[in-house]
Amino acid sequence: MDQIHKRFTDDQVKNLFKGYCQGLLDRNEIENILSIGKARFFALLNQYRQDPEGFSITYQRTSPLRLSLSVEKEIGNELRLERSLIEDPDLPISSYNYSAIRDRLFKRGIRISVPTIIERAKALDCYRAKSKKKAHDREVVTTAIGALIQHDASLHRWSPYAEKKWVLISSLDDFSRKLLFADFFETETSWAHIQATEALLRRYGLPLRYYVDSLRVFRFVRNRDSFWYKTVLRTDEADPQWKQVMRIMGIDITYALSPQAKGKIERSYRWLQDRIVRTAAIEKLSKIKDLRSVLQEEIHRYNHIQVHATTGEIPHIRFEKARKSGPTLFRPFSLPQPYTSTKDVFCLRETRAVNAYRRISLYNHDIHLPQVPIGEEVEVHFIPDLTKATVEVRIWWNNQTVQRVVFPLTAFPRVHF
């Protein structure tokens, strides 16, 4: 049915409301004549009472039909910037993100819809049709938060102005899809993954299981014997540093056997790459500390604003509901006996035998251990502090610390912390 202003004149509607105010017409009669509901009736009545003489039902368009030249220029600049990022072979971007353009324009006070941006993109040859995706049939197979933590790393050139690549290490809760940890590191090392795990465990507690790939940081893998060499240790017969930490904390590990098996956390990486690289290019960021602020902003958007396609919920809200009322498999964080300091759990480990002089040799450094009998094995704990360029060495024997020494990092040139 046509709108009121197309079916009646201002004077006709004025007379109807005038009759209602004088008690000559009933509300139901006017609603039937105008074919409107109760809410619309009282809205028009209120408008009439405020200004009976100036009352009008003529439709007034509140937004302009055309965009201003300045807005058109802003959209064009953003689209051309997108194209330059996509064409850069060193950046992990392969498609246009019109939603990101909309968000950037919104920060500058320009409100524009994604379809309008796509229309301008086609006109400026900044459009690339997306390939058809199969129907979304993924589902959550875990039944509680903390049941499975997906953990991985992604090495990329996160900014076109950065001189080198950085690694992003992140951990995602499978049930809620919330990113529980994400941070940049200069290089991917066992110590970096131990730091990431410690941060998560101390904030959220101990989960039931971690889900990782078979990278050497997480798993020792050895091929079968061959003609050329004789295998001494087979797969999983040696524990890498990160795995030793998980064993001490009582956390199980499951290994993905293919990249496709890590699809859940890989999708979050693609989302972060898409947003972070674009922001870094626009703001000309070249330092890792600057990228960290962008990362935290996107993590907040991912956890607190975006509705996840699989769960149909915002990850943070889904996580908090499970944490407060169940189900949850997170256990309170506590150190296992006999440890009393996190430094002796989240560390790098080696063993040494005490010689006849009650000393151990540690990368050409002799450490005196007067309390340890000759021939006994001791456990050496390394705790690097990259910001201070130092490494603390703690010697353990008979379930206690028997020596503590602090060295500069340069004292261990062969050790890659």
154 with 107, same domain?
Answer: no
Q: What is the pLDDT of residue 64?
A: 54
Q: What is the pLDDT of residue 230?
A: 54
256 with 158, same domain?
Answer: yes
214 with 306, same domain?
Answer: yes
Q: Has residue 264 got a pLDDT over 70?
A: no
Mean pLDDT of the chain: 86
Task: Say what the alpha-carbon torsion angle 231, 193, 307, 332 is, to the nearest 10 degrees.
Answer: 100
The band of 58, judged by pLDDT with boundaries at 50, 70 and 90, is: confident
Number of domains into which the chain is organized:
4
CATH number of the domain residue 259 falls in? 3.30.420.10
Q: Which structural domain range is residue 29 located in?
A: 4-50
308 with 400, same domain?
Answer: no
45 with 96, same domain?
Answer: no
Q: What is the pLDDT of residues 214-256, one digit of tens each?
A: 888 887 666 545 555 555 555 555 788 999 999 999 999 998 8
For residue 144, being part of any structural domain is answered with no
180 with 90, same domain?
Answer: no
Using DSSP's 3-state secondary structure scheme, residue 413 falls into: coil
For residue 229, being part of any structural domain is answered with no
Look-up of token digits 């503590």: 404
Output 90-95 pairs: Cβ under 8 A, ≥24 positions apart: 90/157, 90/160, 91/157, 91/160, 91/277, 91/281, 92/156, 92/157, 92/273, 92/277, 93/273, 93/274, 93/277, 93/278, 95/128, 95/130
The band of 97, judged by pLDDT with boundaries at 50, 70 and 90, is: confident
160 with 200, same domain?
Answer: yes
d(CA 283, CA 290): 10
Q: Has residue 263 got a pLDDT over 70?
A: no
Contact 399, 377 (CB under 8 A): no
302 with 205, same domain?
Answer: yes
Q: What is the pLDDT of residue 257?
A: 75
The band of 283, judged by pLDDT with boundaries at 50, 70 and 90, is: confident
104 with 153, same domain?
Answer: no
| DSSP E strands, 290-389 | 348-353, 359-362, 365-368, 377-385
For residue 416, being part of any structural domain is answered with no
For residue 31, being part of any structural domain is answered with yes
256 with 392, same domain?
Answer: no
Q: What is the pLDDT of residues 3-30, one digit of tens each?
A: 787 888 888 888 888 888 888 888 888 8
238 with 319, same domain?
Answer: yes
Using DSSP's 3-state secondary structure scheme, residue 210 falls into: strand
Q: What is the pLDDT of residue 346?
A: 96
Q: What is the pLDDT of residue 136?
A: 47
Q: Give the least confident one: 56-65, 245-254, 294-303.
A: 56-65
d(CA 164, CA 90): 11
d(CA 344, CA 393): 10
For residue 141, being part of any structural domain is answered with no
321 with 245, same domain?
Answer: yes
For residue 380, being part of any structural domain is answered with yes
Where would I find the H helices in 227-368? 241-249, 263-283, 288-304, 315-325
